[in-house]
Structure 1
Amino acid sequence: MKLEQILDKLGSIEKNSFIKIIDNIISNSPKNIKEIDKILSTSDKGLKSVDNQNISKIFALTSEEFQQHIKCEFQEITSQLDILIDIIIRDGNCIMKRDWFSRLYDKEIKHLKGRIKVLESDFKNEKSELSESRKRDYKIYKACLHTAYKNDIENNRDPKITSDELSIILTLSKYLGLSQEEIKLINYSIVPIKKLDIQDVIKDLKNIGVIFYSNKENTVYVADEMVRMLRKIREKEVAEKFYRRTLKLLRQPIINQIAREHNIDRNLSHAQKIEEIIKEGVSFTNLLTDNIYKNETTLTEKKKTLNELCEKGLNISNLRGSTLDEKIMNLINHFENVERDEKVGISLDGFDKLLSELNQSLPKLNRDIKEQFELQDEFVLKADYLLDYNIKPRDILDLIVKSDLTKFIKDYGIKQRGDDILNILEHYKDVENLYLENYENVAYRNLNTLKENGISVKESELGQKFEDLTKTIFKDLGFNVDDTFKNKLNTKKDMMDILLNLGNEEIIIVECKTSKERGYNKFSSVSRQLKSYQNLALKNDLRIVKILLVAPEFSDDFVTDCEMDTEMNLSLITASTLSNIYEAFKTSKYEEFPYVLFRDIVINEERIIKALKK
């Protein structure tokens, strides 16, 4: 769930710790202070009176400083921050009831204690499966950590690892090739784990700003933006779902090799080993730099292998980068962009239909998804529910074994040639709703983004498509989009786009404009056009209640010219605003949109959405 959505759910007291941290960062003049000041200049009472959308923007502008603030908390080695963060950044754990969080915490502590016993036994056992070189790596790291932690006691101070010591230890762990899980096990073999009270855990995490807690709902919320930040701090470069997607493309001997390298039980199944590699926190970069190749593989061969993995397996053509490191970084950036993208890849209706039919074909899937993502609800195969956890159609399909995918494809007559997952996504695309979800991209004539989101359209068709989509929106808002009446009124010279017939000889005229350029700035030409439509309607004894101009955005000059016009009852509405009003209307009590709300020069989205929610 996005930060702005979470902030909308909470009261001011529940947001207070987070706001205080950002306020403190701002007081120390962060890197982006000029941009922050521009946002704050609209508020007289400082950050506390800024709306949630702008708080989200300010958080993005202070992300580097906020990340440093969290890193400082890691100096307190007894804080268990690594354990707790590893729980809350897992796919599916961004929304948790308090009791569920407590159960996950208990389970993690128990799991760690068991693993520590096994590790200590492997240290002593000459016949353990740990290689001598790996034992040496562990012993070196453990000795250095022991010295960093215990030297304070010898100097009559509380044991603590300083930031300098921590940076050296992190560098050491990196060059020894230790996973996050291996580091954790060694850390807590020196500093024994004490189980904390869950309310204290929640309070501590809330105070450092990494979670929000709703007292009313007894629910922990972790914003998507925060999850990405915490992942960087834990040096987990990609989300688990993307890591899994990549590992599933590797041959079994390679998975076995990685498992052996990081002391993962070789008796586990192939799928279980993949999950353990993910849980271990094995570096994604190290995986693609060294772990998936044979020892004698040349750099050129590694680049070729990575390109093939991306093109044939991940459907990413032309992975950019001249060096292996650049290619890996671009792949990580690709996954991050996919995660940030709010588009689902298929329409919401298509996602719901997919989940419904998957549930019918594969009755155990609900249980499997629930367990995989550690979700607490009993029935989880609901599109809106999963999207709150940032779980998309592809993430669900990635978890289904090949034999079950084949069964599902046959059950529902889905195309069988080619890639199974891509065929399924194409089958459930639901093009009309997918276009509506990309309404703003159509307005901006953003052809590349439309293609990335699964829409194939010619640029010459975008103007008509924008008009058709706008008609659909107004129909769904309860208006009578009267094409018959419009066609009677239109002449060869004057052809209005959309006419909304309100009855009793009253109409609303809607004009649609697409534009690649930022800031629509052609008032003189569009005003002549609209005035001719107005005259046409008046000649036919019609009362024009409103003229609406829909465009991707409007320049300041355009808005000023519109304000100065005294001849038309004209309002301007951006494609984004109309789309958001449309979404809010779907869940409102109204069957028909109250058009009296269209009364501003530039339609105020926030005011209208608040009115619809009443």
Structure 2
Amino acid sequence: MKLEKILDKLGSIEKNSFIKIIDNIITKNPKNGKEIDKILSSSDKGLKSVDNQNISNVFALTSNEFQEHIKCEFQEITSQLDILIDIIIRDGNCIMKQDWFSRLYETEIKNLKAKIKGLNSDFDNDKSELSAIRKRDYRIYKSCLQTAYQNDIANNRDAKITSDELSIIITLSKELGLSQEEVKLINYSILPIKKIDIQEVIKGLKNIGVIFFSNKENTIYVADEMVRLLRKVRKKEIATKFYRRTLKLLREPIINQIGREHNIDRKLSYAQKIEEIIKEGVSFNNLLLEDIYKPGSTLTEKKKTLNELCEKGLNISNLKGSTLGDKINSLVEHFENVERDEKVGISLDGFDKLLSELNQSLPKLNKQIKDQFELQDEFVLKADFLLDYNIKPRDILDLILKEDLTSFIKDNGVKQRGDDILNILEHYKDVENLYLENYENVAYRNLNLLKENGITVKESELGIKFEDLTKIIFQGLGFNVDDTFKNNLNTKKDMIDILLNLENNEIIIVECKTSKEKGYNKFSSVSRQLKSYQNLALKNNFRIVKILLVAPEFSDDFVTDCEMDTEMNLSLITASTLSNILEAFKTSKYNEFPHVLFRDIVINEERILKALSK
């Protein structure tokens, strides 16, 4: 769930700890101080008095400093912060009831203790599957950590690992190629694990700003933006779902090779070994730099293997970068962009239909998804529910066994040639709704994002497509979009985009403008065009109730020019505002949108959404 949406759910006291930390960062002259000052300039009382959208914007501008703040907390070695963060950043753990979190925490402690016991046994057992080289790596790391921890005790000070010591220890673990799970096990074999009261755990995480806790709902919330930040702190480059997607493309001998390197039981099934590699916290970068290649592979062979993995397996063509490291960074960046994008890849209606038909064909899927993502609800195959957890259609399909996918495809008339998952997504796409969900991307003429979201369209068609979608939105708002009336009125010189017929010779004129550039800034040309339409309508004895200009956004100069215009009853509305108004209208009491609400120069979205909710 996005930070802004979580903040909307909470009271001021529940946001306090988070806001205090950001306020503290702001006082220390952060890197993006000027941009932050612009956001806060309209507020006398600082961050507390700005709206939740701007709090979210300020957090984005202070994310680097916030990340450093979290890193500092790791010096308190008894905090169990590594254990706790690893729980809350797992796919599906961003919304949890307190008792569910408590259960996950207890299970984690129990599993860790069992694994530590097993690791200590492997140390002492000459016949264990641990190679002599791996035992040596473990001993080196353990000895260095023990020294860093115990040298304070020897000098009659509280045991503490300083930031300098911590940076050396982290570098050492990286050079030895240890996974996060291996590091964690060795750490807690030196520092015994003590179960902390769950109230104290929640209080500690809330005080450092990484979670929110709603007292009313007894629920923990971790914002999507915070999850991404915490993953960086834990050196986890991508979300688990993308890691799993990549691993499932590898042949079993390669999975065994990775498992052998990180002390994973090779007797497990293929799927179980993949899950264990993920749980081990094996670095995605290291995996693609070294672990997935045959021994002795040349750099050229490694690049070829990685390119084939991306192009044929992940359907990502033209991976940027000349070096292997650059290509891996490009892949990580691609996954980050997919995760940040709120679009689903198919329409919401299509997602719901897909889940319903999956549930009919694969009755065990609900439990599988519930267990995989550690979800508390009994029935989880609901589109809105899963999207709150940032779980999308592709993430669900990635978990289904190939034979089950094949059976589902046959049962539901999905195309059988080509990639199974892509064929299923195409089958449930629902193009009209998918375009509406990408309305703002069409407005911005953002071909790359449209393509990533499953829409293939020529750039030359985007203007017409934006106009068509705008018509659909106004029809959805209950207006009579009268093309016959408009065509009779239009001339070869004056071509109105959209005409809303309010009856009794009253009309609203709507003009649509797409723009790649930030801030639509062509008032002089568009005003001449609109005045020409106005004169055309007046000449035909129509009363113009309003002229609306829809664009992705408007520059300050454009808004000022519009405010100074005295000849037209013109209002400006952004594509995102119009889209959000439609969503709010669907659940309102109105059958037709009350057009009197279109009375601002720049349509105030918040005011209209409040009016619709009454």
The verdict on how the C-alpha distance between 1:295 and 1:126 changes in structure 2, with shifts beyond 3 A counting, is: same
Partner residue, 1:94: 94
SS at match of 2:500: strand
Partner residue, 2:59: 59
**Letter in structure 2 aligned against 1:444:** Y
Tell me whether 557-566 or 247-256 shows the greater mean CA deviation: 557-566
**Alpha-carbon offset, residue 371 of structure 1:** 0.5
SS at match of 1:503: coil
**Letter in structure 2 aligned against 1:377:** D
**Alpha-carbon offset, residue 519 of structure 1:** 2.8
Partner residue, 2:265: 265
**Alpha-carbon offset, residue 551 of structure 1:** 1.6
**Alpha-carbon offset, residue 569 of structure 1:** 1.2
Partner residue, 2:386: 386
Q: Distance in 2 between matches of 1:116 and 1:133?
A: 19
Partner residue, 1:536: 536
**Letter in structure 1 aligned against 2:213:** Y
1:440-484 deviations in Å (ceiling 9; x for gaps) = 222222333322322222223222211111110011111121223
Partner residue, 2:568: 568
Residues 405-484 of structure 1: pairs in structure 2 closer than 5 A: 405-484=405-484
Q: Distance in 1 between matches of 2:259 and 2:315?
A: 26
**Letter in structure 2 aligned against 1:34:** K
Q: Distance in 2 between matches of 1:532 and 1:326?
A: 53
Partner residue, 2:498: 498
Percent sequence identity is 86
1:117-150 deviations in Å (ceiling 9; x for gaps) = 1111111111111111111111111111111111
**Alpha-carbon offset, residue 369 of structure 1:** 0.5
Query: 2:104 aligned with 1:104, yes or no?
Result: yes
Query: 2:607 aligned with 1:607, yes or no?
Result: yes
**Letter in structure 2 aligned against 1:260:** R
Q: Distance in 2 between matches of 1:271 and 1:519?
A: 49
**Letter in structure 1 aligned against 2:192:** P
RMSD: 1.4
Partner residue, 1:519: 519
Partner residue, 1:83: 83
Partner residue, 1:213: 213
1:203-245 deviations in Å (ceiling 9; x for gaps) = 0000000000111111100011111111111111111011101
Q: Distance in 1 between matches of 2:448 and 2:158?
A: 57
1:52-85 deviations in Å (ceiling 9; x for gaps) = 1111111111111111110111111111100000
Q: How many residues get paired?
A: 614
Query: 2:280 aligned with 1:315, yes or no?
Result: no
Unaligned runs of 5+ in 1: none
Q: Distance in 2 between matches of 1:537 and 1:323?
A: 62
Query: 2:232 aligned with 1:197, yes or no?
Result: no
Residues 11-30 of structure 1: pairs in structure 2 closer than 5 A: 11-30=11-30
Residues 82-481 of structure 1: pairs in structure 2 closer than 5 A: 82-481=82-481
**Alpha-carbon offset, residue 373 of structure 1:** 0.4
**Alpha-carbon offset, residue 516 of structure 1:** 3.0
Q: Distance in 1 between matches of 2:479 and 2:100?
A: 46
1:339-358 deviations in Å (ceiling 9; x for gaps) = 11111111111111111111
**Letter in structure 1 aligned against 2:252:** Q
SS at match of 2:502: strand
**Letter in structure 2 aligned against 1:364:** K
Q: Distance in 2 between matches of 1:70 and 1:460?
A: 47
Q: Distance in 1 between matches of 2:518 and 2:181?
A: 48
**Letter in structure 2 aligned against 1:601:** I
Q: Distance in 2 between matches of 1:476 and 1:556?
A: 30
Q: Distance in 1 between matches of 2:330 and 2:562?
A: 45
**Alpha-carbon offset, residue 315 of structure 1:** 0.8
Query: 2:37 aligned with 1:48, yes or no?
Result: no
1:350-369 deviations in Å (ceiling 9; x for gaps) = 11111111111111111111
**Alpha-carbon offset, residue 105 of structure 1:** 0.5
1:260-297 deviations in Å (ceiling 9; x for gaps) = 21111222111001001000001111111111122211
1:512-571 deviations in Å (ceiling 9; x for gaps) = 122333333333333233233333333444322211111222233322222122222111
SS at match of 2:509: strand
The verdict on how the C-alpha distance between 1:176 and 1:522 changes in structure 2, with shifts beyond 3 A counting, is: closer
Q: Distance in 2 between matches of 1:516 and 1:325?
A: 31
Q: Distance in 1 between matches of 2:419 and 2:88?
A: 33
SS at match of 2:572: strand
1:305-337 deviations in Å (ceiling 9; x for gaps) = 111111111111111211111111111111111
SS at match of 1:521: coil
Q: Distance in 2 between matches of 1:276 and 1:252?
A: 14
**Alpha-carbon offset, residue 612 of structure 1:** 2.1
Q: Distance in 2 between matches of 1:523 and 1:141?
A: 65
Normalising by structure 2, what TM-score? 0.98
**Alpha-carbon offset, residue 590 of structure 1:** 2.7
Q: Distance in 2 between matches of 1:35 and 1:219?
A: 33
Q: Distance in 2 between matches of 1:163 and 1:511?
A: 59
Q: Distance in 1 between matches of 2:315 and 2:375?
A: 29
**Letter in structure 2 aligned against 1:308:** E
